[in-house]
Structure formats: structure tokens, C-alpha cells
Structure 1
Amino acid sequence: MTHKLFPALFLMLSFGAKAQYSDKLIIEKLLQSDLNSMGQKIQYPNVKDAKVSVMKITFPPGETTGWHKHEIPVFSYILEGTLTVETEDHKVTQYKENTCFAESYNIYHKGTNNEKTNLVVLAIYLAGDQKELSIKK
């Protein structure tokens, strides 16, 4: 079920939505990609009981997620601030406000708010079959 949900959602929000809804709606394509932030091919989990979790995560200044990885697809949108992501191989990437990206699979990383104001991230997790949303190192 999950493997059908997101392609349909992204298709609807891209070019198809304008034809289906009022011309007064402003529809912005935030992400359309077949690769995640590490250049890995996006894969949908093969699960019997699919579950989507949408989280709004607020990082106070200086806070971090700690080292973790995902074994499921995770899509993030930066609502406020700048997220600095460091991978275990010391690659550092910054995602600024209004940026959307697909997170990496099976690669330990940590997200940090290095700014003086709150960082707010909207994260969408495609899980199911009691898979963890993230796994701590």
C-alpha cells in the first residue's frame, strides 16, 4: 500500500493537481527524485501493514538528533532554519529553510541546529510491520 501512496501523492502535487483543482491554488513541487541525499536509489519498503508517520521536529539552538540511521524511506522538509547533516564518513550537508530532501538509507548520520534560532523540520516516514523510524548508533 505504501509503495502506491507516495508516487500518487507526488504525481497529484506536481503537474496533475493544477488540472484537477481551482486555478487559484498555488501548487509547488517540493521534491521529485529517484535518489536520496546520498545518491542512493529511493526504495519503498515491502511491508504487509504499511504505516506513514508525519512528524514536526523542533530543534532548539545547538541541539542534535544524535547518530542514527533509517532502514525506511524518510522525506524531510525544512520549515524554519538550517539543518546541518553529518554522515559517519564526515560528509557535511546543509539544508536551508524551504528545502525538501529524501534522507539516506542505512548510513549513520546526525542532524544539528547550529543556528541561534529554532530549527523546525517536517519529516515523513514510510514504515510498517513495526519497523523503527530510526535506529540509534
Structure 2
Amino acid sequence: MLRKFKIVLSLLVFMGMAVHAQQYSGKLKIEKLADTSLNSIGQKIAYPQFKDPKVTMCKITFPPGETTGWHKHLIPVFSYVLQGTLTVEVEGKGTREYKEGSSLVESYDTYHRGINKGKQDVVLFVVYLGGDGQSLAIKK
């Protein structure tokens, strides 16, 4: 079961990876979105061991000036900026900006917050790898 979970995860996260034409038919355009073993603050990516794994995918819209508030994740979280520019403040690690078309592997067990400092909505596509009732985020 864990092996199937990892396979599904790999397909979701890396479905944008460049592949050889023989793997798919047609005229698909495939772009690599992420290819890393480290998250946004340099932590090694680790997959949790859950008895009942669960993948949650969300589209999150930040109106101008909106923030997530300070929070952390105890599960792997992968985000893609569909629209706008997201500013992420990471406790003790500084601030980073992610523009439209950027992807990020979010920090693990480290407080951070996302902020829309722009004048248009920021829209994210987010994949959470959880299970066993684990919260998607823990507020500070």
C-alpha cells in the first residue's frame, strides 16, 4: 500500500517532468515543475508512514493583502502558483517570493506564512500528503 502511495505521489508531483515520447501518445506538452530532494528551506524530503494515507489537493485563492497566518506542516506539502506572486515568510529563514508558474516544496515542521502583497488574487494549487487524521496545517 505504501508503495502505491509513493507511486501516486510521484505521478502527481512530477507529472510535469519531461519524458520521452514513447511514454505517452499524442502531442502532449510536458514541463518539469519540480525535481528536488530538498524542500524550500533545504530540508530533506521525507515521506510519512501512515496506516491510512491520504492525498488532499486544494486550489487556494488569496485576495490582495490576505495571509495564511503563521502555521507549519507535519506532512509534505507541494504548491504551484497559478496566478500572482506569493510572498512566504519563514521563521528564522527570511522571506521568499514565488511568481506565477513557480512551484515550491514547503518547509516541514517550521512556522511560515504566505502573504499576497500584490493587487490581484494569488491562486495556488496545493497537494498535501497526509493520513491517519493528521492536520494539513498547525496554527502558531
* TM-score normalised to structure 1 length: 0.92
Distance in 2, Cα, partners of 1:63 & 1:27: 32
Q: How do 1:80-95 and structure 2 match up within 5 A?
A: 80-89=83-92, 91-95=94-98
Alignment partner for residue 48 of structure 2, among 45, 50, 57? 45
Distance in 2, Cα, partners of 1:92 & 1:18: 39
Alignment partner for residue 79 of structure 1, among 75, 82, 86? 82
Distance in 1, Cα, partners of 2:117 & 2:15: 35
* TM-score normalised to structure 2 length: 0.91
Are 1:62 and 2:58 counterparts? no
**Aligned sequence identity (%):** 53
Distance in 2, Cα, partners of 1:45 & 1:131: 11
RMSD: 1.6
Change (3 A) 1:51 1:21: same
Number of matched pairs: 137
Change (3 A) 1:9 1:85: closer
Report the alpha carbon displacement of residue 20 of structure 1 after superposing the two structures with TM: 1.9
1:46-72 CA-to-partner distances (Å, cap 9, x unmatched) read 001110000000000000000000000
Name stretches of at least 5 consecutive residues in structure 1 with no aligned partner.
none
Counterpart of 2:136? 133
Distance in 2, Cα, partners of 1:123 & 1:10: 10
Report the alpha carbon displacement of residue 23 of structure 1 after superposing the two structures with TM: 4.4
Name stretches of at least 5 consecutive residues in structure 2 with no aligned partner.
none
Distance in 1, Cα, partners of 2:44 & 2:65: 31
Q: Which amino acid is 1:102 matched to?
A: V
Q: Which amino acid is 1:51 matched to?
A: K
1:18-67 CA-to-partner distances (Å, cap 9, x unmatched) read 32212411011111110000000001110011100000000000000000
3-state DSSP class of the match of 2:17? helix
Report the alpha carbon displacement of residue 16 of structure 1 after superposing the two structures with TM: 3.8
1:60-101 CA-to-partner distances (Å, cap 9, x unmatched) read 000000000000000000000000000121600000000011
